[in-house]
Structure 1
Amino acid sequence: MEKLSNLARIVTDRRVKESPLFDFAAKKSTNKDLKLIRILEEAPDSTQLQLTKALYGKSSATSNTSFRKLKSRVQQKLLNHLYFLEQSDPRHLVSRRYELQCIGLYHQVTILYGEGEYMLAEQLLRKCLRQALEGEFTEYAVLATRLLGKLYVDLRQPARYRAASKQLQQLQQLMALEDEAGQIYWSSKMAQAHTVRARRALLNDLPGYLAQLQQLHEKARSYTTFNYLYLIQLTLLEFTGNYEEIIKITTATEKLWAKGKINRRRFDSRFNNYMTVYAYLHNKQAAIGLSLSEDYLKDFHPSSGNWFFFMENYVLLALHAGQYSQAQHLLEMAHKNPYFRKQRAAARQRWDLYKAYIYFLQPENSPLTLRHFNQFVQTVPDYSRDKQGYNVAILILQYLNFLRRQDVENLLARLESLRKYEQRHLRESATLRSQLFFRLLVLTVKENFDPESCEKKGRPLLHRLHEAPQPGEAYAEIEIIPYEALWGITLDILRANVTENKAAEQARRARVA
């Protein structure tokens, strides 16, 4: 009981006067701290002026000063609650729970060590080290072992100090290898987030990175070096468009994980699920990917960014499978998620583009009027400085929208833009699919919007499109709708326009007669 008694003394003597936490069970509390939180829960977009008036009745110099103090106090208390978040939900990153246990134990130990409570500190420190080693969190194992050595110096236990020093040296050597592997991986990751030109340059460097990581993993044999190596392998396959191999590797890795040959406290099988459906999407096996997505979605917590990334693939799979109503349902699910707005601006813009395509395909189910939709399509933002990727999808959608509206003036202007765009930005062999589809769109104008002529003369181009390989991720290409299906939609638009024009001409003649 001595350890418990000493801990009780430390906490009671050193505790703060005001509670650092909220009592969320007090639902009827008139406390302004809790009242502010309740208002933010109900109206998260409230402005500071609205909040000040709701809490103090009016906005004045005094109430504004009080609100600033309140805001600071509430923020600090909310930050304190981060220590007590529920981490056992399997829909969150599995390693986070074990990593936070290490961090929590180390935090407690440093306080106890500072208070001179060495016996309990050693007990918790050994527990922290054990959990760090089981989870292969080398950096926390180093911290725990280093502090153990200091503690044994204070306790004058030379044998234990020498054992801790030897273990610390081994762990530091391992961490040096992991840090080197991490530097290679994160540098490549940074290049992926840059321009298309940088991604193409990275494609040339990836084989070398892969070889370096292989050597580091052979020396370290740790989960961390394995994971960096695994991620680089998948990145290289993504960049080269070898999606079939991605499916094979993720399937094999999942089997190893199921057998316990990969650290179950660290490996996130949901990442494999994500990569698998991503590969099926780009490997033109949308039906299989769509079926798997329905099962895998439940493994992602709606509050996580990974849920939204997975949903993007899910929506695209539905679109590629021709399940447009399902795609719209998934789109609505994403927008109704209360965490939707926490995504980065670029991610929200991608959702806008998916929305534009879905509403274009199903105008009868669109909540936008025709006029508002036309405005919406024209304001979808550009995405890539290198004029590829989502910009191609935007140009195509805008062209098809003009085609459906039979806006010949804007259509001809867009036609010239398409020609120039192809000449300037779609010259490489990896962009062949976009080149071919642009030529099909140009054909609609050349053939005077005649659907039968366009279909006939477009067959050679369509055949080449079927044969053209899907470009790798290095070229940042994206087809919201597969070009083959989009050409069929284009022909349908032309046929509908012919029918509409004939009906209008018949009505005009009837009025004249």
Structure 2
Amino acid sequence: MTDLLELTQIMDGYKLRQIEVLTRPLRPGIQESRYRLMYHALANGDVHTEEEAAQLLGLDVKGRPFRRFLLEFRRRLYAPLLFLDTESSEQFNATQKANFECLRKLGIFQTLLHRKCFINAAMLAEEIVEIAAQNDVTLVALEMATYLKRYFVEQEPNPDKYRYYKVYVERFRFDWEAENKAAECYSAVIAPAIKKKSNQYDIALKSKELLNILEPYSNRCNTILFLAGYYGVMLTEKMSLFAWKKALDICDIAIERLRAKSCFSPRMIGFFMINKTTCLSMLGQYEEAIKLNIECADFEVYGSRGWFVNQDVQVSVALRAGEYSLAHSVAEKVISNPMFKLMPKIMHESWQILFSYISVIQSIGKVKLNANDNIVFQQFKLNKFLNDVPTYSKDKKGLNIPILIVQLLFLLHQKEYEQAHERLEALRKYRVKHFRYDAGNFRTQLFLKAITTMAGSAFNKKKFIKKSQPFIEQLRNTPIGYPDQHYKIEIIPYTLVWNWMVEMIDQ
């Protein structure tokens, strides 16, 4: 049902009335009211699964009538998308409105061509091509210019217009190739990092190799999509090397170039601002990072994927900065947002890790709740959590680290010392197996060495402090942005987590 839930979120009552008008007639035997009934049930959050949808309609979830209904219902939701009111919507800026207008008219243009209405097609193309060119809608601009170049030779010979559109075609063809190459390169370097946050030097090498491919385009192509992909690859290289200052500089350059354009893309600018927030955080500039991240939220549509990424970074920065009330309130906004359940599973895993740390913070009294605050995080269940993060549990030198640490925190808080001892022994073996001294993650190595001394101290506070102190002192002298560890691994500064553990164990 996720596909249908996604569609119903962008419809409104006016578009719903068009469903019966714009699409083919209903199949015999299906009541018209079923479509409205299902739409309202999905839009209001009354239906979340196919089983619930079938029950609402009084049909067998595995039966052919229900399957036919779902197919027809989905088809009827597509057509009204052409009539979304982007012009008066506050969610779209001028560039985005122009993009939608160009894409809608592209459909009309192609219909005119297929119906051999060549004059009307040319008139529409001349109107669209300039708007598309001004707003970097390269695909539409290329198709319009290509047709007009041919039209002013075959249909209405005009040498001046032919030469004019010939130049356009060459420009847009180059831009289209550059945009696709940049998107392809960015996808190639970002894909390995989606499920793995461990050593990323291989990603940095790949990024550098692909930058050499993009360089020939960089002097001639200045479209939004190319700039985003080009600087995205450049940024990925520096962030994969944990070179936070250099990555910060790249973000500033990309933002400056994107802002200098006549057409404005808040989504692309927001992408670099969010990454700039991360860089500031890793450089210890927390106050500036939080302020910038709050500004970033204005660049994203509420409930969109970009909005959830923005909130993820805001919670991460707040937790690192010790702003637990902020982290809690942002996490509450996320978990109560109806669009959250439509986000990719890998995004859910990332949030589950953040939720687990917020739950710990609540449990040990590090954040004060108001009477009307959501207590969902206090209902955290350790076994369920482990089932909710199957992908990152396999990322042994990456996000499995904060997963293991938060497990230990819960066990210590609940005074489950026998299980905690088993976990500490496992952590000791884990460190020996997965971390060589010269293989990066220096802060994590120090922290694991420090906390595994707890097992040998029989959970005696004084003995634990004495044995772990040398490692903790080294940690205190090693910046959190030490360049050998992904920024998502150390959710809470390790020295602070160590303090919590000292508070939790017996005398």
What TM-score do you get using the length of structure 2 for normalisation?
0.82
* 8 A Cα contact 1:239 1:472, kept in partner: no
Residues 216 and 400 of structure 1: CA distance in aligned 2, closer, same or farther (over 3 Å): same
1:37 Cα deviation after fit: 0.7
1:75 to 1:392, Cα distance in 2 relative to 1, 3 A? same
Q: Which amino acid aligns with 1:416?
A: E
Paired residue type of 2:233: I
Q: Which residue of 2 aligns with 1:442?
A: 452
Q: Does 1:490 align with 2:501?
A: yes
How far is the alpha carbon of 1:431 from its aligned partner? 0.8
Structure 2 stretches lacking a partner, 5+ long: 1-17, 25-30
Q: Does residue 285 of the first structure (1) align with residue 293 of the second (2)?
A: no
Displacement, 1:441?
0.7
**CA distance, structure 1, for counterparts of residue 197 and residue 350 of structure 2:** 17
**Paired position in structure 1 for 2:5:** none
| 1:99-134 superposed Cα distances (whole Å, 9 cap, x missing partner) | 332221221112223333333322210122112211
Deviation at 1:143, TM superposition (A): 1.1
> Matched residues in 1 for 2:70 and 2:461: separation?
63
Q: 1:315 to 1:47 in 2, by over 3 A?
A: closer
Give the aligned partner of residue 507 of structure 1.
none
Report if the CA contact (8 A) 2:362-2:378 is conserved: no
Determine the C-alpha separation between the residues in 2 that align with 1:304 and 1:122.
Answer: 37
Q: Which moved more, 1:122-131 or 1:226-235?
A: 226-235
The whole-number CA distance in structure 1 between the counterparts of 2:315 and 2:468 is 29
Q: Aligned equivalents of 2:115 and 2:266: distance in 1?
A: 33
Q: Distance in 2 between matches of 1:354 and 1:265?
A: 29
TM-score, normalised relative to structure 1: 0.81
Contact map agreement 1:206 1:232 (CA 8 A) in 2: yes
* Residue aligning to 1:218: 219
Q: Could you report, residue by residue, the CA deviation over 1:420-440 in whole angstroms, capped at 9, with x for unpaired residues?
A: 111121224421111111111
Native 8 Å contact 1:393 1:478 kept in 2: yes
Q: Does 1:381 align with 2:389?
A: yes
Within the alignment, does 1:432 sit opposite 2:434 as a pair? no
Residues 281-315 of structure 1, C-alpha deviation per residue, up to 9 Å, x if partnerless? Answer: 22232233223333432432222101111111111
Q: Which amino acid aligns with 1:168?
A: V
Question: Partners in 2 of 1:119 and 1:445 — Cα distance?
Answer: 83
| Deviating more after overlay: 89-98 vs 324-333 | 89-98
The corresponding residue for 2:149 is 149
**Aligned residue in 2 for 1:422:** 431
TM-aligned CA deviation for residue 371 of structure 1 = 9.1
Which residue number corresponds to residue 74 of structure 1? 73
One of 412, 428, 431 as aligned partner of 2:421: 412
Structure 1 gap segments, 5+ residues each: 1-15, 23-28, 499-513
Alignment of 1:22-421 (within 5 A): 31-55=33-57, 58-59=58-59, 66-87=65-86, 91=91, 96-159=96-159, 160-161=161-162, 163-193=164-194, 195=196, 199-258=200-259, 260-261=260-261, 263-264=263-264, 268-363=268-363, 367=375, 373-376=381-384, 379-382=387-390, 383=392, 385-421=394-430
Amino acid at match of 1:396: I
| Change in CA separation of 1:328 and 1:376 when aligned onto 2, cut-off 3 Å | farther
Q: Which has the larger radius of gyration?
A: 1
Give the deviation of 1:226 after TM superposition: 3.0
Percent identity of paired positions between Structure 1 and Structure 2: 20
Q: Which moved more, 1:432-441 or 1:155-164?
A: 155-164
Residues 33, 74 of structure 1: 8 Å contact kept? yes
Task: From the superposition, tell whether residues 121 and 329 of structure 1 become closer, same or farther in structure 2 (CA, over 3 Å).
Answer: same
**Kept in 1: contact 2:197–2:399 (CA 8 A):** no
**326-335 or 468-477, larger mean C-alpha shift:** 468-477
* SS of corresponding position for 1:116: coil
State how far apart, in whole Å, the 1-side matches of 2:151 and 2:98 are.
24
What is the aligned residue count? 471
Query: CA distance change for structure 1 residues 255 and 45 in 2, over 3 Å: closer, same or farther?
Result: same
Cα gap change, 1:124 to 1:252, in 2 (>3 Å): same
**Superposed, which structure 2 residues align to 1:458-497 within 5 Å?**
458-469=468-479, 470=481, 478-494=489-505, 497=506
Moved over 6 A (4+): 368-372
CA contact (8 A) 2:360 2:409 kept: no
Contact 1:21 1:78 in 2 (8 A): no
Q: Which amino acid aligns with 1:426?
A: F
Q: Give the Cα separation in 2 of the matches to 1:101 and 1:475.
A: 41
Determine if contact 1:443/1:454 at 8 Å carries over to the other structure. yes
Could you say which structure has the higher helix fraction? 1
